[in-house]
A and B are shown apart, each in its own frame.
Chain A
């Protein structure tokens, strides 16, 4: 069953320097339970596409459906959780209250809020940090808290826009492993923007390679890696072969320039 479906999607921004085509003829189907990575150089429209799915940007052409609805309807139905590049936790709220923010807004009862905060903090391995303030946590822990915030209301779709871009390699590896576990446990459909090839290959069931000016899809790679992925799978021949194909796709996009 397809959760997200884009057909002939176009998006042109009107800027002071004239129109800029951010997305051209994007066609993509994401199935339920897919882990889809969007990879490409800056300006390739990967974040823009994710924001279109979230109803934060509006395509100027083509069709896009999320859970069978328009992106705006899906947003109002709270169909997805969104993780931004920065954790963006409220400094005046404890970790627990930050995770409870969407629940408060969506009108969950106090008891249910407490229960879900506890459950999602356990899920991202932050149990016991509920009463801490964001500044008392490391960058990686803050980003985990922001993932918990996106998971708290249990939407089927999780959209992540370069969530680990600002973190160092070691923390990033650990969080990648955790995201995979999280995905296996929750069976969510995940859209993940990155510009790291190993990250994309390691995480995804489907890798969408994009290229800039105008932003478009140049390759969609179905990963043949097993669902169970220890970190050292990155040294396997299969992994390297997929990474190679991604790199080729990125290079092909650049030759067009």
Chain B
């Protein structure tokens, strides 16, 4: 990344971190003051009961000199950035290297580490993405070549995306489990469900991108429909396909995480939910950041394949 690009990004990151630290003050003010009171200090108002009736901002203003603990509250409403980073460190490197169940001592990733859970989520994401993207490409070809499919499939594809996935996911899981399909498949199905749609839309647009002139040119050669597909439509669709694959894999990750919420058999989704059960907000945030990192990594991977492919085709 060039310096001209890094500058603005760094500025935004710093601004977000500053805002985050600042937001910790009002968000955690109740807990901060309670901690001081328990330690024998004096705050206004003196009891937690009275403080509960006052707004956050007026508590902040009445106790301006007693807020130093805002960034180190345990089970904070909003854990501070360094708490989240510490949690990420503890549940990745520390757990794997020093933990009893870690890869160094046990030879396999600890089921308490985010690396293990990220792996679980990534597996479901990739399987679901391959199913979804493959299905999406096939549907797009059908839609472009068959007017009947164009009229019948596209509206359903659109409707499918209007159903909230959080409502649909548990049903998919329950149905699949009841017929004995468990493990990675139900999560992958949800991933595929979310990722096929951008691929269909992008691929249809890509396959239809050759203009009249290019199609006429093939007619002057008396080219067959399959020659038109392989020599013109498919190569012309590549930039569109990759753009939608990037959206698709990110959607796929969301699907896998949503699919992990009701099952609680590992994965970042399971980590987030257990964190919220036990008020371990730093655990939720840590899982969230790992998920974001995972998404960024996978999108970058598709981007790399894209640039390689397009360069080989002479289009980049």
Contact = CB atoms under 8 A, between A and B. Distances in A.
Given A56-B219, A85-B213, A105-B223, 7 more contacts: A78-B221, A80-B220, A82-B220, A84-B213, A88-B214, A92-B238, A92-B313
Nearest 7 pairs of A and B residues by beta carbon: A92-B313, A133-B314, A82-B220, A105-B223, A105-B221, A102-B221, A92-B235
B227 A88 contact: no
A90 B236 CA distance: 8
A105 B218 contact: yes
Nearest to B232: A90
Interface string B186-226: 00000000000000000000000000011011111111000
Nearest to B224: A105
Where chain A touches its partner, the secondary structure class is loop
Interface size class of A (residues with CB under 8 A): 20 to 34
Nearest to B314: A133
Contacts, number: 50
Interface string B296-316: 000000000000000001110
A184 B27 CA distance: 86
A76 B218 CA distance: 11
Contact of A90 (B213, B223, B227, B235): B235
A88 B221 CA distance: 14
Contact of B213 (A86, A101, A102): A86
B314 A93 contact: yes
A81 B218 CA distance: 11
Most interface-central of B313, B314, B315 (chain A CB within 10 A) = B314
B217 A84 contact: yes
A105 B227 contact: yes
Contacts of B218: 105
B231 interface: yes
Contacts of A55: 219
A104 B231 contact: yes
B231 A54 contact: no
B315 A91 contact: yes
A55 B220 CA distance: 8
